[in-house]
Amino acid sequence: MAQDKLPLIKIVATGGTIANTPSGRLHAGEVAEAIPQLKKVARLEVEEVIRVGSSSITVENWLTLARRISEILAREPEVQGIVVTHGSNTVEETAYFLSLTLKTDKPIVLTAAQRQFTTLSSDSPKNFLQAVRVAATPEARGKGALVVTNDVINAARDVSKNISYRLETYSSRDIGALGFVDEDRVTFYRAPTRPTGAFDIARIQRLPRVDIIYAYAGADGALIDAALAQAKAEGLVIAGFPTGSGTPAMDDAVKRAVAKGVPVVMTNRGGMGRVTETRPTEHRPLIWGDNLTAQKARVLLMLALTQTRDAAELQKIFATY
């Protein structure tokens, strides 16, 4: 009877290290059953949408995942929150995509792990438990998608994975965490201010192709030209130098791309701080990616291109989300 009064949390599984063992990847339900503390936090319903490592996640998977979560929220109003179990390599991108496309104030919490479920000092059980605790917390409502790992709550827009294998890999860099999951309580110290749920994907079958081009000393424009000519990219993101630029040769290639009607977003390969026009007299035909990492800017540009291709409107979108 006591558990009947607990909040209902839906686990939507995609695979990843959090459900992986040296002998193979487990069903998320098996992982949940192996964590008895969960039964004191929430009633769980587990559903597996896909079962892959996060390096295999595709844009099509994002569309499937977002639509399924939307269906759950529409058809099962008793569900109080969603936990998405995910691989670590791309969880930040999936989280941002869901934050931009899900129209709900219910908690959407993604979690991942650095160490396989049954290995020594695995972070998988604790991260799973903490994600459920956050999803069951009323204070988590209205904050967009969240990433919860290693006792820390990060906003989907801001978080990135920065370390290959150590547990403290996730950080929101110069923006900072939203809060923490301690043994006694879940505490939020701040809330995101950027809007969520702005993009309707109900009728979208595919998203425009957007490629990322990295800036480095001596880079020419060959990769930019190839992205358009061979890959047929409909948009480009430049992971530029920290001051928000590429090499002169890259700048020339960008001008060729924009002349063909392809929008180009400039971001900062260092990952911290805003990029903005610092050479206004040169009239660089760029969209400025604010403080988004290149991979987050790609997600936003793909979705933005389903609404507009006007450069001024795209710039407003990047200033807003």
pLDDT band at 1 (very low <50, low <70, confident <90, very high): low
151 in any annotated domain: yes
195 in any annotated domain: no
pLDDT digits (tens, 9 = 90+) for 207-243: 999 999 999 999 999 999 999 999 999 999 999 999 9
What is the model's pTM?
A: 0.94
Using a CB cutoff of 8 Å and minimum separation of 24, what contacts does 299-303 make? Answer: 299/93, 299/96, 299/97, 299/100, 300/96, 300/100, 301/210, 301/235, 301/237, 301/263, 301/265, 302/59, 302/207, 302/208, 302/209, 302/210, 302/235, 303/97, 303/100, 303/101, 303/199, 303/201, 303/207
11 in any annotated domain: yes
Q: Is 169 a catalytic residue?
A: no
Asked if residue 51 and residue 151 are part of one domain, the reply reads yes
Asked if residue 33 and residue 113 are part of one domain, the reply reads yes
76 in any annotated domain: yes
- Give the containing element (helix H, strand E) for 227: helix 222-229
pLDDT digits (tens, 9 = 90+) for 136-161: 999 999 999 999 999 999 999 999 99
Query: Domain holding 242: CATH number?
Result: 3.40.50.40
Asked if residue 243 and residue 284 are part of one domain, the reply reads yes
Asked if residue 227 and residue 160 are part of one domain, the reply reads no
Q: How many domains does the chain have?
A: 2
Asked if residue 151 and residue 91 are part of one domain, the reply reads yes
92 in any annotated domain: yes
More confident residue, 35 or 95: 95
pLDDT digits (tens, 9 = 90+) for 113-125: 998 887 888 899 9
Please, are residues 99 and 158 in contact by the beta-carbon 8 Å criterion?
Answer: no
- Give the containing element (helix H, strand E) for 145: strand 145-149
Asked if residue 153 and residue 63 are part of one domain, the reply reads yes
Asked if residue 156 and residue 215 are part of one domain, the reply reads no
Query: Domain holding 70: CATH number?
Result: 3.40.50.1170
Asked if residue 243 and residue 153 are part of one domain, the reply reads no
199 in any annotated domain: no
Asked if residue 214 and residue 95 are part of one domain, the reply reads no
Active-site residue, selected from the candidate residues 17, 101, 111, 267: 17
Q: Which pLDDT score, from 0 to 100, does residue 18 have?
A: 72
More confident residue, 3 or 218: 218
Query: Which residue range(s) make up the domain with 106?
Result: 3-188
146 closest CA partner among 189, 190, 109, 185: 109
Q: Where are the beta strands (DSSP E) in 232-302?
A: 235-240, 264-268, 287-288
202 in any annotated domain: no
Please, are residues 156 and 82 in contact by the beta-carbon 8 Å criterion?
Answer: no
Domain boundary among 188, 220, 251: 188
186 closest CA partner among 129, 142, 145: 129
Asked if residue 277 and residue 315 are part of one domain, the reply reads yes
Asked if residue 292 and residue 159 are part of one domain, the reply reads no
56 in any annotated domain: yes
